[in-house]
Structure 1
């Protein structure tokens, strides 16, 4: 019994040594993955106020509850800007108050990377949500989607395209999934 603390110290020291050796095995890779600096010639980060969002509903199978939309973010500024990561999308009611809905940011269709959006150019992301009956419990119902590059649900409302007429276009969902921002529309919905 007196050897138990000694054995525990030896096992801890051995484990620490193995972890140090594993970390040193490939000095170019950190535990969180490779670290890459952004090219110095990229423009400044985009601002939400310089982007206009259009959300285009994609055709869905009649028996499916999954809805898919393509978000196009157009740079309305006179200068290029850069994007990386995700867009914050919030369901809002007619008064533009946020309607809480569980939201998941996915590393799809690829890992986030910094890219440039030219003045007048666009970036894209995909949205998928589980639709529900408006009267069902845990069904969030809204009239539009708000977007932001920040983490808070602040920002302008998006333009909705190819959605049913306004009286029928109320959005009803139990969950919202947001893909990574991409420079090409064909990449945005491949997940």
Structure 2
């Protein structure tokens, strides 16, 4: 027979409830500390990933600049000798009305030739580069009204280009130049007719 009074049982039960609540509160605090620690680790990981992304982006820009620098001497020779260009300007940037345009190389000649060539240089030719050159050619006269009467041509110069992308660029009417023995040379079929923009 139990010698505990009902009041004592209630007090014992209340003590057990208080003890369990304390244990739960401690577990919640420990869980909260773990969440905070995990959150700090996630924030640190995100910071490191952002920093790595910036470093990779910077490396890509440097590689792009390296490729453009590699292409310039042979592209300049090609533009002057093959197409009779008088002016060859690397890295042309223009801003008009809050809009920006950047061309890797702009070459033009006045007089009888009266033509301009926009050259986009890529380490690896991708679909976006073909679209990018199309957009540059479409916007060119708005940014350079002084050349509005010139015949306009596009050249994609790439270190590496798949046969399919080369064909697509040629179908668009662009000249394609590829590197051979550290020199960029035109890579167009016999009888190729470029598109005049």
Structure 2 length-normalised TM: 0.27
Q: Look at both structures and tell me which one has the larger radius of gyration over its CA atoms.
A: 2
In the superposition, the TM-score normalised over structure 1's length comes to 0.28
Structure ranking higher on relative contact order (CA contacts 8 Å, 6+ apart): 1
